């Protein structure tokens, strides 16, 4: 029991160190793939406590816009979030890495990932609750099924190393979460989504830490080969237009449904970092419908009916 208390007491420092290292690894590899643009770093502080390290890449050879951001914030939990968590006046600590990459080429998918840790304290400073969350998901504009299978197989392999039910459970949660209910279609082809991973009779907090960090370590294996394969394919202006229309659906999800955006806005997070996920060029055409039996229509059919990929 003493060992568990020591591990729990230092978990936030361990996880924050992990996401700092992961941010370095991801940004270095994306810069190498892009070959031109480099991430610009922006250090910021939050008046109520904490801050972050935002890294943004724009107008490169491969990446039109992307961000790989880390933050660690703390202080009194705002009233709106007290109501959300159904708690009284408490303090919190939250840290995480959040990334979105929007390639130029419409044949290359957008990718999103997030890995986070949260603690809640009473007014005496005693930790009342703690949990991990996160995941990674793919949003293609043109459907290359081998890419989606690779992404999901990478997710499944890391999940299977921890529990045989994790992949199916977290894949289904991803399909349910990243869904534009007002459009009756998924944002993309999914991946993993998990939240409120706490210690229980089956898993210690250390088990949860190992799982979440293994998922984080798998990100580059899941996405980089896809980006490398698709970044130089030929495309037409019409295909670029379709990409921008689909990016509009991405924006809709992030502004209407995403809990991370909501949490950031309601805890006085840094607006530029919260909204870095929005793509730079987007279209909303009135009642746009793709041609029947086209590649665009084939994508929509999958988004309307999420499927099993592995």
3-state secondary structure of 11: helix
**Cα 52 to Cα 91: distance, rounded to the nearest angstrom:** 19
Query: Comparing C-alpha atoms, which of 89, 54, 70 is closest to residue 12?
Result: 70
Structure tokens belonging to residue 234 = 């030929």
What is the DSSP track for 18-75?
HHHHHHHHHHHHHHHHHSS--PEEEEEE-TTSEEEEEEEEES-SSEEEEEEEEEEEEE
Q: Order of strands, edge to edge, in the sheet holding 63-76?
A: 40-45, 50-58, 63-76, 91-103, 110-121, 127-139, 190-197
Active site residues: 112
């Amino acid at each position: 029991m003493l060992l568990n208390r020591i591990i729990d007491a230092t978990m936030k420092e361990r996880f924050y160190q992990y996401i700092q290292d992961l941010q370095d690894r991801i940004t270095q590899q994306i810069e190498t793939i892009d070959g031109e643009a480099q991430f610009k770093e922006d250090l910021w502080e939050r008046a109520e406590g904490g801050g972050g390290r935002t890294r943004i890449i724009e107008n490169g050879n491969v990446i039109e816009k992307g961000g790989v951001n880390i933050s660690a914030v703390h202080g009194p939990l705002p009233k709106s979030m007290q109501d959300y968590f159904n708690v009284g006046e408490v303090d919190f600590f939250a840290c995480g890495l959040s990334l979105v990459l929007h390639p130029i080429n419409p044949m290359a998918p957008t990718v999103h990932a997030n890995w986070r840790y949260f603690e809640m304290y009473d007014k005496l400073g005693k930790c009342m609750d703690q949990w991990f969350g996160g995941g990674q998901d793919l949003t293609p504009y043109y459907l290359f099924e081998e890419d989606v299978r690779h992404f999901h197989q990478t997710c499944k392999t890391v999940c299977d190393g921890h529990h045989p039910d994790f992949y199916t459970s977290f894949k289904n949660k991803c399909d349910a979460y990243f869904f534009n209910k007002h459009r009756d279609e998924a944002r993309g082809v999914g991946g993993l989504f998990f939240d409120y991973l706490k210690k229980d009779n089956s898993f210690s907090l250390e088990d949860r830490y190992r799982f979440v960090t293994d998922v984080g370590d798998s990100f580059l294996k899941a996405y980089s080969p896809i980006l490398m394969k698709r970044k130089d394919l030929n495309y037409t202006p019409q295909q670029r237009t379709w990409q921008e229309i689909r990016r509009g659906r991405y924006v809709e999800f992030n502004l209407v449904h995403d809990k991370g955006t909501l949490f950031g806005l309601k805890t006085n997070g840094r607006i530029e970092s919260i909204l870095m996920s929005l793509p730079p060029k987007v279209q909303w055409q009135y009642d746009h419908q793709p041609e029947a039996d086209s590649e665009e229509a084939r994508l929509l059919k999958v988004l309307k009916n999420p499927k099993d990929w592995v």
